[in-house]
């Protein structure tokens, strides 16, 4: 009696929908049903699914979609010998990205892998004329929808109406009327928005904030789960700080969820992270601690064995010049004690110093705007002597370039001035209630929080590695990056015309 050996051919199914609202032929369930039927007809068993849910194939290329990346890896690692999808609209809306970023690379290393669409009983070949036409039609549909949306928005804006959009999480919209502009007020989730901002200015990463929100089962936008991108968008959204700008219209919202000083500290946190790296490190004073003898930044080193059974850790600061080292706990104890003793004194003068610094920066920006006006007038006067020609001369092109630079500089100055004025106008803007509350609790902060405070308020820590004597150079205010920005904008700018 002969034993029949049945060879099971395995395949992977791919589904996509651009919105959770899509139903009918574009629902995930329907796509799966059709793919399973097609796979059975072709003698395959679907071993796994790769899904891109609520992902646009028009805005996101094939190689950037998570589901297609998973599909690529499965085929590459011999987990599937065929790929099944519903139709061309599911794999691509830009004609070529699926072919160039998924199909061709896989065929190059796995020439026997097969692709199937449920709309044909033949192996899918993107170079057949009917398939090419389907890909073109899929792209045309998306381009047409996009253009219709743009035209509709332009039409509404020409009528001075705001295009329809989803109300941001944490806010409730009050429509415009004959007596008032459109406005937004807080809803029951506004406190979550502030909570996210406060966590961020304390030094917690977006990844960590997302984890906190997820673990605490905090309500998420749209009733979904929290994602890093959601938190990122909340930290960037102008509407939360009262800027209801769209098109050429700008309406200021009264009583915004995020006050100017809180948003300024968010910008500060972002800049500090770019400059000094992550805050989640055991070495609180890394990059601002210096060897007092050599005046060079101290390096850090963790010599704790990876498989150590003892709880003792071997973490040290050391000078790369004189090679002296000091244990992390010893350095932190000395610096923390010194910081805590002087912190109360610094608090009393911080608000006044911050106010004075903002006023100084305001004057500097205003003087720079005056100088810029003189340059623009001079440029305009000189430009009047250039003969008018049908074809722009090289000197006219240079004038256009210089004017563009001046306009860009003016815009940056005006934006910075507005930022400073917002801080000066708000009565609470210089109280920094978050940081002022530290007077009795600095030693209770986490390592992340201590590092954020250190980078915000300390310029330099000089440490004698022998005696552990410490000198701390304190900053007078938390507007470090704003001050640096003003300094960069008001440097002598020579707008030279190329020869």
* pLDDT for the residue 23: 55
- On average, the pLDDT of the chain sits at 82
Closest C-alpha to 490, from 404, 412, 421: 412
CA distances from 316 to 327, 453, 467 (A): 4, 21, 16
- Residue 113 or residue 480, greater confidence: 113
419 in the same domain as 339: yes
Is a pLDDT exceeding 70 seen at residue 372? yes
For the chain, the maximum distance between any two Cα atoms, rounded to a whole number of angstroms, is 104
Confidence of residue 338 (pLDDT cuts 50, 70, 90): confident
* pLDDT for the residue 40: 93
193 in the same domain as 131: no
By the 8 A CB rule, do 224 and 218 touch? no
In whole angstroms, what is the distance from residue 85 CA to residue 34 CA?
9
Confidence of residue 434 (pLDDT cuts 50, 70, 90): very low
How many domains, in total, are found in the chain? 3
Please report which helix (H) or strand (E) contains residue 215, including its range. Answer: helix 206-215
Among 84, 110, 141, give the residue marking a domain's end: 141
429 in the same domain as 346: yes
Q: How many residues are given for the chain?
A: 499
354 in the same domain as 485: yes
Among 78, 111, 141, give the residue marking a domain's end: 141
- Residue 137 or residue 291, greater confidence: 291
Considering the entire predicted model, what is its pTM? 0.61
- ∠ CA 23-27-28, rounded to 5°: 160
- Mean pLDDT in residue range 42-52: 94
* pLDDT for the residue 102: 94
- Residue 158 or residue 81, greater confidence: 81
Closest C-alpha to 253, from 262, 261, 265, 244: 244
- Mean pLDDT in residue range 396-415: 85
Closest C-alpha to 14, from 129, 38, 121: 38
H-type helices in 324-460, by residue range?
A: 328-383, 394-425, 433-436, 447-457
Is a pLDDT exceeding 80 seen at residue 300? yes
- Residue 339 or residue 216, greater confidence: 216
Which residue range(s) make up the domain with 224? 183-258
- Residues ≥6 apart with Cβ < 8 Å to 180: 174
Least confident of 32-36, 52-56, 320-324: 52-56
Is a pLDDT exceeding 70 seen at residue 377? yes
By the 8 A CB rule, do 203 and 269 touch? yes
Q: Which residue has the tokens 């020579």?
A: 494
293 in the same domain as 248: no
Q: Which residue has the tokens 């669409």?
A: 117
| Structural domain contains residue 359 | yes
Confidence of residue 66 (pLDDT cuts 50, 70, 90): very high
CATH, residue 112: 3.40.50.1390
The tokens describing 266, both together, are 């968010």
Is residue 495 packed enough to be buried (19+ CB in 10 Å), middle (13-18) or exposed (0-12)? Answer: middle
The tokens describing 165, both together, are 């959009």
| Structural domain contains residue 267 | no
- Residues ≥6 apart with Cβ < 8 Å to 128: none
Q: 21-28, long-range: CB within 8 Å, 24+ apart, which pairs?
A: 25/86, 26/89, 26/90, 28/53
Q: Per residue in 220-267, pLDDT tens?
A: 988 888 988 899 999 988 888 887 665 555 566 677 888 877 888 888
Please report which helix (H) or strand (E) contains residue 290, including its range. Answer: strand 289-291
Confidence of residue 79 (pLDDT cuts 50, 70, 90): very high
366 in the same domain as 479: yes
Is residue 358 packed enough to be buried (19+ CB in 10 Å), middle (13-18) or exposed (0-12)? Answer: buried
Q: Per residue in 96-152, pLDDT tens?
A: 899 999 999 999 999 999 999 999 989 999 999 888 888 888 888 777 777 777 777
Name the percent of the chain lying above pLDDT 70.
81
* pLDDT for the residue 436: 46
137 in the same domain as 71: yes
301: left (phi over 0), alpha (psi -120 to 50) or beta: beta
């Amino acid at each position: 009696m002969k034993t029949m050996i049945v060879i099971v051919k395995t395949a992977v199914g791919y589904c996509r929908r651009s919105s959770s609202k899509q139903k009918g032929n574009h629902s995930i369930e329907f796509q799966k049903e059709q793919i399973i039927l097609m796979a059975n007809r072709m003698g395959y068993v679907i071993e796994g699914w790769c899904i891109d849910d609520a992902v646009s194939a028009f805005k996101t290329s094939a190689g950037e979609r998570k589901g297609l990346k998973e599909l690529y890896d499965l085929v590459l690692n011999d987990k599937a010998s065929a790929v099944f999808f519903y139709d061309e609209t599911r794999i691509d809306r830009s004609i070529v990205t699926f072919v160039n970023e998924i199909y061709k690379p896989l065929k190059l290393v796995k020439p026997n892998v097969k692709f199937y669409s449920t709309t044909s009983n033949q192996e899918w070949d993107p170079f057949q004329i009917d398939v090419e036409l389907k890909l073109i039609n899929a792209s045309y549909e998306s381009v047409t929808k996009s253009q219709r949306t743009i035209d509709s928005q332009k039409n509404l804006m020409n009528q001075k109406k705001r295009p329809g959009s989803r109300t941001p999480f944490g806010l409730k919209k009050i429509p415009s009327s004959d007596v008032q502009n459109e406005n937004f007020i807080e809803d029951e989730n506004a406190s979550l928005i502030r909570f996210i901002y406060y966590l961020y200015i304390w030094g917690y990463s977006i990844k960590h904030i997302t984890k906190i929100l997820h673990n605490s089962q905090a309500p998420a936008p749209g009733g979904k789960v929290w994602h890093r991108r959601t938190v990122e968008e909340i930290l960037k959204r102008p509407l939360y700080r009262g800027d209801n700008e769209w098109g050429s219209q700008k309406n200021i919202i009264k009583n915004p969820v995020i006050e100017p000083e809180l948003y300024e500290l968010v910008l500060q946190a972002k800049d500090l992270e770019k400059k000094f790296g992550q805050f989640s490190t055991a070495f609180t004073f890394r990059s601002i601690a210096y060897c007092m003898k050599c005046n060079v930044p101290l390096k850090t080193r963790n010599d704790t064995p990876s498989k150590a059974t003892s709880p003792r850790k071997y973490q040290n600061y050391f000078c790369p010049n004189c090679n002296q080292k000091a244990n992390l706990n010893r350095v932190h104890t000395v610096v923390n004690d010194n910081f805590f003793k002087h912190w109360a004194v610094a608090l009393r003068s911080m608000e006044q110093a911050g106010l004075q610094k903002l006023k100084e920066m305001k004057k500097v920006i205003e003087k720079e705007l005056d100088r810029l006006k003189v340059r623009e007038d001079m440029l305009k006067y000189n430009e009047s002597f250039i003969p008018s020609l049908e074809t722009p001369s090289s000197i006219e092109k240079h004038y256009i370039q210089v004017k563009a630079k001046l306009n860009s500089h003016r815009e940056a100055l005006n934006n910075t001035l507005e930022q400073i004025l917002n801080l000066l106008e708000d009565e609470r803007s210089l109280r920094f209630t978050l940081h002022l509350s530290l007077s009795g609790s600095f030693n209770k902060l986490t390592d992340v929080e201590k590092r954020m405070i250190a980078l915000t308020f300390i310029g330099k820590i000089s440490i004698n590695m022998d005696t552990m004597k410490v000198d701390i150079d304190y900053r007078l205010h938390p507007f470090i990056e704003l001050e640096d920005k003003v300094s960069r904008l008001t440097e002598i700018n020579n707008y030279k015309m190329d020869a």
